[in-house]
Amino acid sequence: MGCNMRKCWWHGKIAYQIYPKSFADSNGDGIGDLRGIISKLDYLKDLGVDILWLSPIFASPFIDNGYDIADYRNIAPVFGSMDDFDELVEQARKRGLKIILDLVVNHCSSENAMFKKALKDPFGKEASYFYFVKGKDGRAPDNLRSYFGGSVWEKVEGYDDLYYLHYFAREQPDFNWNNKELREKVYEMVNWWLDKGVSGFRIDAIMNIVKDTSFPGLPPDNNNDGMCAANKMTAKLSFKAKEYLKELRDRTFLGHDAFTVGEAFGLNDSILPDYLGDDGCFGSIFDFTAREVFEKEPGYYAYPEVDIAFYRDSNFSMQEKANTLGFVAPIIENHDEPRAISLYLKPSQQNKHGAKALATAFMFLRGIPFIYEGQELGMTNTRFDSIDEFNDLSAFEEYRKCKEHGLGDEEALKVLNLHSRDHGRTPMLWDNSVNAGFSQAKPWLKIHQDYETLNVKAELADPDSTLNYYRKLTRLRKDPRYVECFTYGVFRAGDTSDREIVCYNRHSDAMDIMIFVNFSDSERKIQLPEDAQLLISSEKAELITGTLTVQPCSAVVVRIR
Ligand code: GLC
């Protein structure tokens, strides 16, 4: 049974994603930093998480907020110094917390020294680390559209018919993974960080590393621009990625017993087994099944409305597949997503009751759950009042697409208020003082409108808060009596006929535990064995001789065997 054969240190752990720019600002420049993170380690320890994933902290021009790396072995000065980083690792270690970094190696920044050299000599050694390609018939080599809009090809200055490839922004040139020397440089860098004491990596956009170097392009999709989204090509070639990724694993992660979690979109059933389990490329992969419905669309304006049954069914399908393969990493939000409460819950449930219900549905899925900063407070989307308040480059591209599609300013703003990546990037809310205790200075991105009540300090003081409920959930998941079942127990979907109920079991030799979440507006009664034990409930729940009454918009976790 895949991963069940070999036990790994990260099994049974809970991870937490930190977006360093928005977590805590220690030096009053409006931007979060490493010393800010150090100052909050006790908070994180108390929350009950074990592994901290830091979004990129490396030197970068921040065109894509650090996912454009200029220097892989230096810390961005805005985040602090290498000494600060070493101290972070040490302070985390003292508390039993592990740090994992973001490995962004599909592309780098156009400010990276290797790329600068390549631009100067597009037929030289450094250029072979990238894709410098001649045009076809006076046009770009193919018709792929970059993730952030426009062609994936950018003309090389000073040449008539030469282009370089970038699947993301033009300031993010793609590395050529066919080049052995380039791969060696990546492995060396990865090992350097592992030797410094990081415990692993989250691996960015990694399925994009495979390219068909004949650059055949694809039939245009539904955008009316003659282009096709690059992710279609990535999906088509994904079966090949394992050749490189197993090499990466063997040369780096394995020797360090590192935990890795891949941002691996669109893995179909035939290649999923290559990514999970004992011989998988990664320790885990995020479960993005629920995002895939959006990937098909030409833009935010066409995104369908989704509900809790959609979230449930997406998760359940991956959970069932992963049972025999290994551990996925369940998420409900990250720095590329709006807040889950705003996305999946009806307006009447976008409050702490809904937050707790959703948290319960998520926390006991099989795998390594990743909590995203602010999720534990029950953060909803931030209200942006004008396009000028956004920061993410895709917000501006999506706004342009909305307008092109015929939407007015207000309608376009409404679309961004539902789907922008900036919702996940607004500063963490620490208290009700100015700037929510995040910074002494004006923060780089807007503060959430509800910060006066929705913040760590207020929620710690309130026994009934979302935050305190999350603390109970993490403790329950790791309770020595149940941890074996919650870690290795098989996932079994419950009845899915009611769109407002999320119900599943975790089953091990020793016990069965049922997670039942009632997202409807009416009370539900369920019949259970007489000796059933209620382990936690998000609202008051009554268990009387086997009959359990579950309040509207609430969750229970019950041991039923
Ligand atoms: C990943 C990151 C995203 C970034 C992109 C390019 O999807 O999560 O934030 O823009 O890769 O690196």
State the Cα–Cα distance between residues 159 and 299, nearest whole angstrom: 33
Q: Confidence band (pLDDT; 50, 70, 90) for 3?
A: very low
User: Does the Cβ of 64 fall within 6 Å of ligand 1?
Assistant: yes
Q: Is there a single domain that holds both residue 66 and residue 132? A: no
CATH number, domain containing residue 551: 2.60.40.1180
Pocket perturbation via mutation, ligand 1, pick of 18, 69, 168, 370 by most ligand atoms within 8 A of CB: 168
Q: Tell me, yes or no, whether 171 lies in a domain.
A: no
3-state secondary structure string across 340-393: HHHHHCCHHHCCHHHHHHHHHHHHCCCCCCEEECCHHHCCCCCCCCCHHHCCCH
Q: Per-residue pLDDT tens for 294-333? A: 988 999 999 999 999 999 999 999 999 999 999 999 999 9
Q: Which residues of 468-502 are buried (b: 16+ CB within 10 A; e: fewer)?
A: bbbbbbbebbbeeebeebbbbbbbbbbeeeeebbb
Q: How far is the CA of 505 from the centre of ligand 1 (A)?
A: 34
What is the domain extent for residue 540? Answer: 488-559
How many A from CA of 142 to the centre of ligand 1? 22
Residue of 21, 103, 204 with the most ligand 1 atoms within 8 Å of its CB, for mutation: 204
How high is the pLDDT of residue 5? 64
Domain membership of residue 399 (yes or no) is no
Query: Ligand 1 pocket, 205 CB below 6 A?
Result: yes
- Per-residue pLDDT of 352-397, as tens digits, reads 999 999 999 999 999 999 999 999 999 999 999 999 999 999 999 9
Indicate whether 431 and 537 sit together in one domain. Answer: no
pLDDT for 277 equals: 87
Q: Is the pLDDT of residue 101 over 80?
A: yes
Q: Please indicate, yes or no, whether residues 160 and 295 belong to a single structural domain of this protein.
A: no
pLDDT, one tens digit per residue, over 42-62 is: 999 999 999 999 999 999 999
Average pLDDT over residues 72-89: 98
Q: Is the CB of 69 under 6 A from ligand 1?
A: no
| One domain for residues 295 and 159 | no
Residue 417 domain flag: no
Count: domains in the chain: 3
User: Domain for residue 481, yes or no?
Assistant: no
Residues 159 and 291 both lie in one domain: no
Alpha helices in 388-492 (DSSP H): 393-404, 409-419, 456-461, 466-478, 483-488
**Residue 433, C-beta contacts closer than 8 angstroms, at least 6 positions apart:** none
Please say if the pLDDT value at position 555 is more than 60.
yes
Verify whether ligand 1 is closer than 6 Å to residue 204 (CB atom): yes
pLDDT in tens, 215-246: 999 999 988 899 999 999 999 999 999 999 99
What separation in Å is there between the alpha carbon of 205 and the centre of ligand 1?
A: 6
CATH of the domain at 125: 3.90.400.10
pLDDT for position 114: 98
**Same domain as 89, residue 29:** yes
pLDDT above 90 (res 401)? yes
* Residue 436 pLDDT grade (very low, low, confident, very high; cuts 50, 70, 90): very high
Whether 552 is covered by a domain: the verdict is yes
Assess if residue 150 is contained within a domain. yes
- 10 Å CB burial of residue 77 (0-12, 13-18, 19+) is exposed
Give distance in angstroms: CA of 66 to centre of ligand 1.
Answer: 9
Domain endpoint, select from 471, 501, 529: 471
Residue with the smallest CA separation from ligand 1 atom 4 is 67
291/378 same-domain check: yes
Distance CA 467, CA 482 (A): 22
Same domain, 45 and 148: no
Q: Give the pLDDT confidence score for residue 453 in this predicted structure.
A: 97
Using CB atoms within 10 A of its CB, is residue 123 exposed (0-12), middle (13-18) or buried (19+)? exposed
Answer yes or no: do 281 and 383 share one domain. yes
Ligand 1 centre distance from Cα of residue 184 (Å): 23
Report whether residue 67 contacts ligand 1, using a CB cutoff of 6 Å: yes
- Ligand 1 atom closest to Cα of residue 421: 9
- With b for 16 or more beta-carbon neighbours within 10 A and e for fewer, the 420-438 pattern comes to bbbbbbbbbbbbeeebbbb
| Backbone torsions φ then ψ of 173, nearest 5 degrees | -65, 140
Nearest atom in ligand 1 to 104's CA: 12
Candidate from 58, 67, 112, 372 with most ligand 1 atoms within 8 A of CB, to mutate: 67
Q: What is the mean pLDDT of residues 69-84?
A: 98
Q: How confident is the model over 59-66, as a mean pLDDT?
A: 98
| Residue 96 sits in the same domain as residue 146 | no
List residues with catalytic annotation.
Answer: 204, 263
- 546 shares its domain with 447: no
Q: How far is the CA of 362 from the centre of ligand 1 (A)?
A: 23
| Residue nearest ligand 1's atom 12 by CA | 67
In this model, does residue 1 exceed pLDDT 50?
A: no
Q: What is the pLDDT of residues 476-530, one digit of tens each?
A: 999 999 999 999 999 999 999 999 999 999 999 999 999 999 999 999 999 999 9
Does residue 403 lie within any of the structural domains? Answer: no
* Residue 8: inside a domain: no
> Best of 18, 336, 422 to mutate for ligand 1, by most ligand atoms within 8 A of CB?
336
Confidence at residue 95, expressed as pLDDT on a 0 to 100 scale: 98
Within 10 A of 538 (CB to CB), how many other CB atoms are there?
28
pLDDT digits (tens, 9 = 90+) for 174-209: 999 999 999 999 999 999 999 999 999 999 999 999
Q: Mean pLDDT of all residues in the chain?
A: 97
Q: Do 454 and 357 have their domain in common?
A: yes
Nearest to 149 by CA among 64, 252, 275, 49: 64
Asked whether 104 lines ligand 1 (CB < 6 A), one says yes
Q: What ligand 1 atom has the least distance to the C-alpha of 168? A: 6
pLDDT of 350 above 70: yes
C-alpha 389 – ligand 1 centre gap (Å): 21
CATH number, position 218: 3.20.20.80
Is there an atom of ligand 1 within 6 Å of 168 CB?
Answer: yes
Let me know how long the chain is. 561
Rounded to the nearest angstrom, the distance between the alpha carbon of 94 and the centre of ligand 1 is 31
Ligand 1 atom with the smallest distance to the CA of 336 is: 9
Tell me, using a 6 A CB cutoff, whether residue 105 lines ligand 1.
Answer: no
